[in-house]
């Protein structure tokens, strides 16, 4: 495919991402569904379209998905109106401490017993699949900053998506260590001290530092009401992520915490809306490109490495494992029944899964054929999530919102 054709496709893709939501409002379709479908048919109309091989393009996919996720995390942090606290974020802590580890364990056990995957691969699949995606879950999240549209269901899914992408990483590293050297006491100690304690602490600390410093630079030295631009959101994102990664911490966690900290400094300022909108536009471009690539990869045989057992596992992840883990995590909360159902069911899988998978395959000696199997089942899970959640989410979230209004 020549350069001019690539530019033409990119132009059409960004235009579609901008105008399609207007036409899809009253249809049982979502923008991700349409973009994936476009990718499925693209190779038919362009027979010479380049082959998208997920293994050989692993580094490219890792960097592309990485950028999409960190921009989404900034947007999520900026638009949360609720101040962080133990009680105020009680639902979030339940989803992180109970639902996510339980999801990882159930997927890993399914990979071991049902699909016959090696332990390291099964754990990697569980860790990559468990997080609710901050990119694709935007449709069920809270509204813009200061918009006031923050029912518990939307808040829980937004805050969960913001934090669990960083907190799933220790399990990804555990899978990498298992694939590299196998289990040992020394490996376990290194994992606990570095991958869990240091990297999480560094992510939180660097996020607090960058968010606080940048907020003071913007709000005290410059009047953001007089010409400050939205690309400060890009600076906030890249600074927090880059500095944290240089310090060997979890950059995803740092980005979300930095956005929360920046928002907290001048919570009611209109400038947060400008930053959020700028970040959302960049995020949408990457989302459209990645979903189109997913459709193309599927059309070119991404799912050819699926076994019947992996197909069953993929269906179970969306229809049983996440809903069950979500429901268990919310036992004992004071949420109404329908809000619990909504939070449990709407754990959307997406772009973050592809990042974790490509990162691990790029940094651990997994066999190529095994890597293709992991990509196939992950791709199928995301496809199922895109379709089912695209159809279900509007009705489920409206039901939960009505419960919130009644309450």
Tell me the pLDDT band of 2, cut-offs 50, 70 and 90: low
Q: Which residues of 294-325 are buried (b: 16+ CB within 10 A; e: fewer)?
A: bbbbbbbebbebbeebbbebbebbbeebbbbb
CA 230 to chain centre: 23
**pLDDT above 90 covers what percent of the chain?**
53
User: Any idea which of 16-25, 78-87, 135-144, 189-198 has the lowest mean pLDDT?
Assistant: 135-144
Identify which of 252, 243, 249 has the alpha carbon closest to the alpha carbon of residue 209.
243
pLDDT tens by residue, 273-291: 888 888 888 888 888 899 9
Q: 178-235, pLDDT tens digit by residue?
A: 999 888 899 999 999 999 999 999 999 999 999 999 999 988 887 776 656 778 899 9
- Output the pLDDT for position 227: 58
Domains of the chain (ranges; CATH) run: 56-406 (1.20.1530.20)
Interval 55-83 mean pLDDT: 92
Mean pLDDT across the stretch 135-150? 74
* Angle separating helix axes 152-167 and 337-345, nearest 10 degrees: 40
Q: How far is CA 298 from the centre of its chain?
A: 20
HEC letters along 173-239: HHHHHHHHHCCCHHHHHHHHHHHHHHHHHHHHHHHHHHHHHHHHHHHHHCCCCCCCCCCHHHHHHHH
pTM of the full structure: 0.93
How large is the average pLDDT for residues 88-103? 93
Mean pLDDT, residues 261-280 taken together: 87
Q: What is the pLDDT of residue 18?
A: 81
| pLDDT at position 323 over 80 | yes
User: What is the rounded average pLDDT of the residues 146-166?
Assistant: 82
pLDDT in tens, 19-42: 887 777 777 778 888 889 999 998
* Higher-scoring residue by pLDDT: 149, 172: 172
The confidence score (pLDDT) of residue 403 equals 60
List the Cα angle 190/164/20 in 5-degree steps: 140
Euclidean distance between CA atoms 281 and 137, whole angstroms: 15
Q: What is the four-CA torsion angle of 278, 279, 283, 284, rounded to 10 degrees?
A: -30
Query: Could you tell me which residues come within 8 angstroms of residue 213 by beta carbon, excluding any fewer than 6 positions away?
Result: none
Whether residue 405 is predicted with pLDDT greater than 60 in this model: the reply is no
Report the chain's mean pLDDT, rounded to a whole number.
88
The pLDDT value given to residue 134: 75
Q: Per-residue b/e over 144-172, b at no fewer than 16 CB within 10 Å?
A: bbeeeebbbbbbbbbbbbbbbbbbbbbbb
Residue 17, pLDDT score:
79
Q: What is the pLDDT of residues 327-347, one digit of tens each?
A: 999 998 888 888 898 899 888
**Mean predicted confidence (pLDDT) in 2-14:** 79
Q: What is the pLDDT of residue 58?
A: 93
pLDDT at 294: 94
Q: Coil, helix or strand for 367?
A: coil
Average pLDDT of the segment spanning 42-54: 85
Asked whether residue 314 carries a pLDDT value surpassing 90, the answer given is yes
How much of the chain exceeds pLDDT 70, in percent? Answer: 96
Q: Cβ of 395: how many Cβ atoms within 10 Å?
A: 11
Mean pLDDT of 392-399: 79
Q: How confident is the model at residue 14 (pLDDT cuts 50, 70, 90)?
A: confident
Q: How far apart are CA 158 and CA 155, in angstroms?
A: 5
The residue length of the chain stands at 407
DSSP structural state of residue 50: P
Instruction: Give the residue-averaged pLDDT of 259-272.
Output: 89
DSSP string, 320-345: IIHHHHHHHHTTT----HHHHHHHHH
Each residue's pLDDT tens digit, 354-377: 999 999 999 999 999 999 999 999
Q: Check residue 111 and give its pLDDT.
A: 95
């Amino acid at each position: 495919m020549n350069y001019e054709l690539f530019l033409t496709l990119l132009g059409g893709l960004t235009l579609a991402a901008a105008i399609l939501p207007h036409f899809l409002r009253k249809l049982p379709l979502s923008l991700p569904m349409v973009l994936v479908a476009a990718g499925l048919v693209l190779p038919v109309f362009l027979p010479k379209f380049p082959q998208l091989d997920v293994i050989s393009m692993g580094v490219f996919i890792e960097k592309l998905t990485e950028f999409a996720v960190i921009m989404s995390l900034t947007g999520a942090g900026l638009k949360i109106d609720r101040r962080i606290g133990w009680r105020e974020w009680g639902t979030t802590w339940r989803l992180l401490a109970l639902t996510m580890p339980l999801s990882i364990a159930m997927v890993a056990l399914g990979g071991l017993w049902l699909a016959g995957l090696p332990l390291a691969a099964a754990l990697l699949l569980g860790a990559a699949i468990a997080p609710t995606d901050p990119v694709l879950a935007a449709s069920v999240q809270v509204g813009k900053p200061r918009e006031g549209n923050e029912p518990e269901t939307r808040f829980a899914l937004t805050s969960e998506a913001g934090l669990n992408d960083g907190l799933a990483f220790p399990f990804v590293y555990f899978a990498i260590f298992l694939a590299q050297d196998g289990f040992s006491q020394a490996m376990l100690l290194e994992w606990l001290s570095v991958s869990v304690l240091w990297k999480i602490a560094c992510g939180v600390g660097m996020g607090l530092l960058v968010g606080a410093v940048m907020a003071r630079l913007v709000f005290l030295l410059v009047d953001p009401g007089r010409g400050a631009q939205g690309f400060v959101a890009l600076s906030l994102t890249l600074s927090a992520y880059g500095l944290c990664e240089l310090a060997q911490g979890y950059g995803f966690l740092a980005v979300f915490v930095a956005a929360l900290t920046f928002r907290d400094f001048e919570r009611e300022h209109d400038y947060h809306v400008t930053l959020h909108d700028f970040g959302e536009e960049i995020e949408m471009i990457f989302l459209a490109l990645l979903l189109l690539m997913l459709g193309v990869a599927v059309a070119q045989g991404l799912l050819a490495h699926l076994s019947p057992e992996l197909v069953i596992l993929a269906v179970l992840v969306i229809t049983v494992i996440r809903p069950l883990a979500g429901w268990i995590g919310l036992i004992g909360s004071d949420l109404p029944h329908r809000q619990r159902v909504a939070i449990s069911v709407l754990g959307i899988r997406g772009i973050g899964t592809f990042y974790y998978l490509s990162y691990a395959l790029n940094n651990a000696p997994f066999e190529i054929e095994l890597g293709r199997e992991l990509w196939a089942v992950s791709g199928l899970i995301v496809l199922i999530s895109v379709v089912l959640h695209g159809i279900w989410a509007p009705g489920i979230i409206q039901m939960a919102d009505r419960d919130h209004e009644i309450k």
